[in-house]
Amino acid sequence: MSAEGRRWAVVPAAGRGERFGGRVPKQYERILGRPVLSWTLAALLAERSIRRVVVALAEGDRRFGRLGEAGEARVQACPGGAERSISVANALESLAGAARDEDWVLVHDAARPCLRTTDLRALIDGVGRDSVGGLLAVPVGETLKRAGSNGRVDRTVPRDGLWRAMTPQMFRYGLLKRALALCIDRERNVTDEAAAIEAMGLRPRLVRGRGDNIKITHPEDRGLAAAILAARARE
């Protein structure tokens, strides 16, 4: 398959952020005066080849409309779901009639605000001619331990060949739509789009990204993201 195909983006933003434990969902927590989701959308909108960014929202979400990016012509919202796979599948369905099977879709975490333009371009260039698609990732550098049931180390896990998956993840529209539909139909919960593609027996390409493309999961991550974005502004 050739590299031809337009580009679309999907941001699943229907999560409640239970692990974060804040007063508002983590995608609306503020970093340097802006909601996390605002930073995330701005990073995607900076790539002019992306025709539209679809944001999948929780039912009753009244915060999204207050974002400046919500009024952008290339941004639209759709209903999300209880699981990530359902949110992404809904967003893909909202593109039906506009996106073609051979088009590319970049799926990016709502709570990953530190995406650099260079990483986004590296993914597009690195995956654009791949027959399967791929994702940003970084090799695991830490020693990994598997815990036993008593909270003690069960064993050390060799880290050779292990990568930490990030987003965006970039796959053809038709392929990703079929892969997610299959997982949903079989009630197979997948935590990222690459896992859905893998369930079809395919092997996504790993594109090395920067380690500072962090996902905000715990409260302390917000301070780290603020430091990353502030340092970038000084560069």
What DSSP character marks residue 72? S
Q: Parallel, antiparallel, or unpaired for β 133-139 and 163-172?
A: antiparallel
Question: What local confidence, expressed as pLDDT, does residue 19 receive?
Answer: 56
Question: What local confidence, expressed as pLDDT, does residue 20 receive?
Answer: 54
Judge contact between 133 and 102, C-beta under 8 A: no
Judge contact between 11 and 40, C-beta under 8 A: yes
C-alpha to C-alpha distances, 164 to 113, 172, 227, nearest whole angstrom:
17, 22, 21
Question: What local confidence, expressed as pLDDT, does residue 3 receive?
Answer: 52
Specify the range with the lowest mean pLDDT, choosing from 3-17, 28-42, 157-171.
3-17
Query: pLDDT-derived band of residue 1, with 50, 70 and 90 as boundaries?
Result: very low
Helix (H, G, I), strand (E, B) or coil at 168: strand
Q: What does the pLDDT average to over 87-114?
A: 98
Q: Provide the mean pLDDT of the chain.
A: 94
Helix (H, G, I), strand (E, B) or coil at 75: strand
For the packed helices 36-45 and 117-127, what is the interaxial angle rounded to 10 degrees?
50
pLDDT in tens, 175-196: 999 999 999 999 999 999 999 9
This prediction has a pTM of 0.94
**CA-wise closest residue to 167 among 190, 189, 194, 129:** 194
**CA-wise closest residue to 2 among 118, 100, 107, 117:** 100
**Alpha carbons 36 and 33: distance in angstroms, whole number:** 9
